Amino acid sequence: MNKRNFSAELENILMGLERHVADPTQASESASSASPPALMLHSCCAPCSSYVMEYLAPYFSITVLYYNPNIDEKAEYRKRAAEEKRLIDRYNEEKKGYPITYVDGRYDPEEFYRVAAGYEDVPEGGARCFRCYELRLRETARMAAERGSDYFCTTLSISPLKNAEKINEIGERIAAETGVKWLPSDFKKKDGYKRSIELSKEYELYRQNYCGCSFSKASSSCARCASGDPSCIRV
């Protein structure tokens, strides 16, 4: 059985949409007669969302949902959320596509610890992480349904440390349950991860060296993290 190419599947969807790269008020008459599809985009952090928003804003009216109860410290959560808002403000100023809006999700780490219970000793990248993906994707789909979004998606697949196949499997299952369309992705492809590093430098974004939870924090003490290498990002 051939492995699915989620990046190509996304490209096929985008090919069927009107592309707009500047101020929507300057779009063609045919484009202005119809609203862009609405996308509820879960973001784990500003660095990961940098490329994803740049890539998708010309095609969608994006609402970024910052819902990450896995982050272990409130100060860390606030710092990452502030960077997300700052980046969105810059993108809107630069008119990289349709205007992007921001929604702050609730911050309750106990939601994460409930789904992680019994999986505390599972290695990073395994079943505990999959349960965390599902927690965040379910909330994204719920918000998408509540706000009438056409699609939901997540920035998580941009990370080389995240399982894109599992993310898409979970997203498709939730889509079948909720009726909100899942936007397939593997954002690390087409040099997406490389571009996110470039954008992080350009906008001087805070780049954390662990995904957010106490378990990933404990496992992030690799040599590159310890040396402060900005290419070592565990998101």
Q: How do residues 22-41 score in pLDDT, each as one tens digit?
A: 545 454 444 444 789 999 99
230, part of any domain: no
Q: Could you give the 3-state DSSP secondary structure of residue 54?
A: helix
pTM here?
0.86
Sheet strand arrangement including 38-42: 101-104, 61-66, 38-42, 151-154, 181-182
Number of separate domains in the chain: 1
100: containing domain? 36-208
13, part of any domain: no
18, part of any domain: no
92, part of any domain: yes
Q: Which residue has the higher pLDDT, 61 or 217?
A: 61
Choose the weakest-confidence range: 4-13, 54-63, 77-86, 225-234.
225-234
Q: Which residue has the higher pLDDT, 22 or 89?
A: 89
CATH number of the structural domain spanning residue 147:
3.40.50.620
Strand (E) positions, 51-206?
61-66, 101-104, 151-154, 181-182
228, part of any domain: no
pLDDT tens figures, 171-220? 999 999 999 999 999 999 999 999 999 999 999 998 766 555 655 555 55
213, part of any domain: no
184, part of any domain: yes
CA distance 156 to 49: 9
79, part of any domain: yes
